[in-house]
Amino acid sequence: MLNPNFKVNTYLNKLRVRDYIELFSKDFEILETIDKYNNLGENYLTDNLKKELFNEFTEKELMTNQVAFVLKNNKKH
């Protein structure tokens, strides 16, 4: 079970990768997404945590840290 009182040492802006995709798609063509850290913390993702977290998050969201986007500007000047 997750501890709701646990103090994290990471700032989260509460945007998910799909949120960035939606935002970037308005003005850019997304040529590529690059996941910097795959399977980060995989050994901590127990079956019980999966049951608890997979209602809200995908496994990819939980296991990926730092996604870089390669973008092409769609605006015509």
CB within 8 A of 75, min separation 6: which ones? 27
pLDDT digits (tens, 9 = 90+) for 43-56: 888 889 888 888 88
**DSSP state letter for 36:** E
Contact between 61 and 17 (Cβ < 8 Å): yes
Contact between 68 and 37 (Cβ < 8 Å): no
The model carries a pTM of 0.66
Per-residue pLDDT of the chain (77 residues; tens, 9 = 90+): 677 787 766 656 778 888 999 999 999 999 999 988 778 788 888 889 888 888 888 888 888 888 899 999 987 65
From first CA to last CA, the distance across the chain in angstroms is 53
Six token digits for residue 2: 């997750």
Contact between 70 and 32 (Cβ < 8 Å): yes
